[in-house]
């Protein structure tokens, strides 16, 4: 059921406007980068 929902969401994303999907993935990568950066830098 979870995989089916994920496939539906994936199809919806593919059907929707591409710039929105691109922006969403870009924000996700940026968030991961910030998390890794915060972990790598020692806290004061």
pLDDT at site 6 = 82
Residue 10 in domain: no
Residue 26 in domain: yes
Residue 1 in domain: no
Residue 44 in domain: yes
Per-residue pLDDT tens for 1-44? Answer: 578 888 888 787 677 677 777 888 899 999 999 989 988 887 66
Helix, strand, coil tally for the chain in percent (to 5): 85, 0, 15
pLDDT at site 2 = 74
Residue 9 in domain: no
pLDDT at site 40 = 87
Q: How many domains does the chain have?
A: 1
pLDDT at site 13 = 67
Instruction: Give the range of the structural domain holding residue 29, as residue numbers without chain letter.
Output: 18-44
């Amino acid at each position: 059921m979870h995989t089916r929902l994920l496939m539906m969401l994936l199809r919806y994303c593919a059907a929707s406007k591409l710039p929105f999907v691109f922006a969403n993935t870009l924000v996700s990568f940026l968030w991961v980068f910030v998390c890794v950066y915060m972990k790598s830098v020692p806290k004061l």
